[in-house]
Structure formats: structure tokens, C-alpha cells
Amino acid sequence: MMSDKKKPSLFERFANWATTATGSSGAFLMAALVVVVWAASGPVFGYSETWQLVINTGTTIVTFLMVFLIQNAQNKDSKAVHLKLNELIAAHEGASNRIINIEDLSEKELEQIRLFYVKLSELAKQEDQLGTTHTFDAASFNNESKSERTKSTTQKIKDAKHRSQQSNQSA
């Protein structure tokens, strides 16, 4: 799948270059220098309306274009993060595959799932162990079985310590 890598489009190459360049400290310094030069040239131009219009027009155009570049970069980054999360969910045996591509659900469906996790969080607060987790499909059952396993394991450890102490005392 990855071997059929296509060459990015002209826009994508430009957008990648522009977001990298404009996000640099050099770009910030250049923008700051433009503002300083503009402000310093105010007395030369008598702080005229044309002098003000130059900075207003320039910043408006740059802002307008940057909105699209930023949105493009944000969309690409968001998609990559979603794909990475989907891979982690798919790879983890205990995770629910229903959560893969959850971003495609409606607001109502997302709210139902959010409320489920609120309830799940309340169950988890009852646990003593930080590592106790639950899947989407079997949260209540998992909560009970993990709780019982934890109690059983804790009891076995206590019993083993008690036996060890008794054997040390008799020796």
C-alpha cells in the first residue's frame, strides 16, 4: 500500500512549504520587521490614509491566504492523528472496534457514547487499581470481573506474605 506513493500535488507541496516557512521564527522576525519599518515610515508619509491602507491591505491579504493554509495543514494533521488512533484501537485486543472512525458519527451519536464513558468513568472511580480498563461492549461485566480478579490476587498475595512470615518465625 505504501509502495504506491504518489507525488504530492503542486498545491500540497506549496502548502507544506508555506506552513513550514510561515511557522518559523524567521517568518515571525520578518513580519515584525515589516511592522517596524511601516511604523517608522509613518512620519515620512505624514501618517496618511494611504500609509494606513498599505498595512491594512497587506495584513488582510496575508491573513486571508493564511486561513486556507492553516486549515489545510490542520485537516492533514487531524486526519493523520485519527488514522494513528484507529490503528491503535484496531491493534489493541481489549479495545472496541466500534470506536474506529468515531469522528464520522453524528453529534447525537457522539453524545450517547460520551455519556457511556461518563458512566464508565464513574465505575472506574470505584476501583482501587489504576490499570483497570473496560471495553465499550462489556464495561459492567469487565468492571465486575476485574474487580473480583483484583480482590482474589490481592488475597493470594496477602496469604503468601502471611505464610512467608510464619515460615520465617518458625525458622
State pLDDT tens for residues 62-107: 999 999 999 999 999 999 998 998 888 888 777 777 788 888 889 9
Which spans in the chain are helix H? 10-22, 25-40, 49-91, 107-125, 139-170
Pick 92 or 47 by higher pLDDT: 47
Check: CB of residue 66 under 8 Å from CB of residue 28.
Answer: no
Query: Domain limits of the chain?
Result: 1-91, 105-171
The pTM assigned to this predicted structure is 0.57
Q: What is the pLDDT of residue 6?
A: 82
DSSP codes joined into one string, 27-68: HHHHHHHHHHHHHHTTTTTTT-HHHHHHHHHHHHHHHHHHHH
